[in-house]
Amino acid sequence: MKQQLEEIRARASAALSKAKAQQDIESLRVQFLGKKGELTAILKQMGKLSPEERPVIGQLANKVRAVIEQDIESRAAELKQEELARRLKEETLDVTLPGSRHTLGRKHPLSIVLEEIEEIFVGMGFDIVDGPEVETDYYNFEALNTPKNHPARDTQDTFYINENILLRTQTSSVQVRVMEKQKPPIRIISPGRVYRSDAVDATHSPSFHQIEGLVVAKAITFGVLKGTLQTFVKRLYGEDSVVRFRPHHFPFTEPSAEVDVQCFSCHGEGCRLCKGEGWIEILGCGMVHPKVLSNCGIDPEIYSGFALGMGLERVVMRRYNIDDLRLFYENDVRFLNQF
């Protein structure tokens, strides 16, 4: 039995010296010192020894256990140091190497111009309000003097969730909600995403952005509307900008007008940018229809107001001379890096 103990010690020492990982050390500990290990198996046979041999073999067994435990501890420490040295070598940072430049994001052109427009209107005393993109037929159409079967709905065909719930075609619905809850005077703009059932091409998209404005108070005239829009255009495009108003029709305003700005390239003579017309349409506007005011609980005999609406993408395209609306949504970094 004494020889067996010496053999166990020698084999354990040799095996531990070859261990390559902490898992190997744990396996060897179980093999030699575990409950079913080789040293434990020897100790279970001590009952067969004579009273004189037991103390000697017991002392030797304890010594062998102590040696194996010491070898385990030493080899574990060695492996830990080897792992640390390996990691230090592999993860060494060469501070003399040039740093890698991280690509920084930047504002989207739509966001850049939208913030400018909001700043202009806020400077004129307007508040910015928001509303739901999923809207009811009443707020999107009927409250704006566009009942069912009205021909104006054909140009604003949208995506319906059911007969009464739809994706809004204009942010005018926000204006109705504000007029229902707030008493005049009212001075707001409502930018946001809108939806229409349009095929995607260079100038159309089923999803785009609008900015609509509303002013309701006493003694609001078309002259106030013209002055507001002239101030807005000059702030956005420059003090030398020339504005033109053309009669138009919208169901929710009367009288109504389209607003053009003189072409920045040819100054009214006609060129490729303005398609030979000399003018570029930028928005629609008009005096709020008395029926719309009544629908919202505002007395049209006391109050009057004007509304305006523009497509953000159209304004940005004019601002940067972009000829394809799809560029805004394709996430091409080569395009976006220009702004």
Same domain, 174 and 290: yes
Provide the CB-side half-sphere exposure for 337 (13 A, CA): 5
Residue with the bigger pLDDT between 59 and 126: it is: 126
- Residue the block writes with tokens 């003090």: 239
Q: Report if residue 100 sits inside a domain.
A: no
Residue with the bigger pLDDT between 226 and 45: it is: 226
Contact (CB, 8 A) for 305 and 216: yes
**What per-residue confidence (pLDDT) applies to 215?**
96
Q: What's the whole-number mean pLDDT along residues 142-151?
A: 79
Assign 155 a pLDDT band (cuts: 50, 70, 90): low
Same domain, 147 and 203: yes
Nearest-CA neighbor of 212 among 243, 168, 180, 249?
Answer: 168
Same domain, 298 and 196: yes
Same domain, 82 and 145: no
Q: Report if residue 95 sits inside a domain.
A: no
Residue with the bigger pLDDT between 307 and 5: it is: 307
Same domain, 127 and 16: no
Same domain, 181 and 283: yes
**What per-residue confidence (pLDDT) applies to 156?**
64
Range among 60-74, 149-163, 171-185 with highest mean pLDDT value: 171-185
Q: Report if residue 323 sits inside a domain.
A: yes
Q: What are phi and psi of 185, to 5 degrees?
A: -80, 145
Nearest-CA neighbor of 271 among 280, 259, 258?
Answer: 280
- Residue the block writes with tokens 């389209």: 258
- The last residue of a domain, from among 90, 117, 144: 90
pLDDT tens-place string over residues 255-288: 999 998 887 777 778 876 677 888 888 899 999 9
Domain interval for residue 29 = 2-90
Residue 154 DSSP class: G
Q: What's the whole-number mean pLDDT along residues 110-121?
A: 94
Q: Report if residue 201 sits inside a domain.
A: yes
Assign 94 a pLDDT band (cuts: 50, 70, 90): confident
Q: How many domains does one find in the chain?
A: 2
Same domain, 267 and 298: yes
**31 CB neighbour count, 10 Å cutoff:** 16
- Residues 171/174/179/180 CA torsion (nearest 10 deg): 140
Is 1's pLDDT higher than 70? no
Same domain, 71 and 175: no
Assign 16 a pLDDT band (cuts: 50, 70, 90): confident
Contact (CB, 8 A) for 158 and 196: yes
Beta-carbon contacts of residue 308 (< 8 Å; ≥ 6 apart): 212, 213, 225, 228, 229, 259, 283, 284, 285
Residue with the bigger pLDDT between 18 and 187: it is: 187
Which residue type is seen at 213? Answer: G
Report which secondary-structure segment, H or E, holds 134.
strand 134-136
Is 29's pLDDT higher than 80? no
Provide the CB-side half-sphere exposure for 119 (13 A, CA): 8
Contact (CB, 8 A) for 313 and 327: no
Contact (CB, 8 A) for 14 and 28: no
pLDDT tens-place string over residues 190-212: 999 999 888 888 778 889 999 99
Cα–Cα distance list, 110 to 63, 113, 296 (Å) = 81, 6, 32
Q: Report if residue 187 sits inside a domain.
A: yes
Q: Report if residue 164 sits inside a domain.
A: yes
Between strands 207-217 and 304-311, the pairing is: antiparallel
C-alpha–C-alpha distance, residues 257 and 246, integer Å: 5
Q: What's the whole-number mean pLDDT along residues 118-130?
A: 95
**3 state SS for 86-154:** HHHHHCCCCCCCCCCCCCCCCCCHHHHHHHHHHHHHHHCCCEECCCCCEEEHHHHCHHHCCCCCCHHHH
For residue 299, what is the domain's CATH number? 3.30.930.10
The mean pLDDT value of the chain amounts to 85
- The last residue of a domain, from among 90, 117, 133: 90
Same domain, 114 and 86: no
Q: What are phi and psi of 262, to 5 degrees?
A: -60, 135
C-alpha–C-alpha distance, residues 190 and 117, integer Å: 11
Q: What are phi and psi of 131, to 5 degrees?
A: -155, 175
Q: Report if residue 98 sits inside a domain.
A: no
Same domain, 81 and 207: no
pLDDT tens-place string over residues 34-70: 777 777 777 777 666 677 777 777 777 778 778 888 8
Percent of the chain with pLDDT over 70: 95
Task: Specify the pTM.
Answer: 0.65
Q: Report if residue 130 sits inside a domain.
A: yes
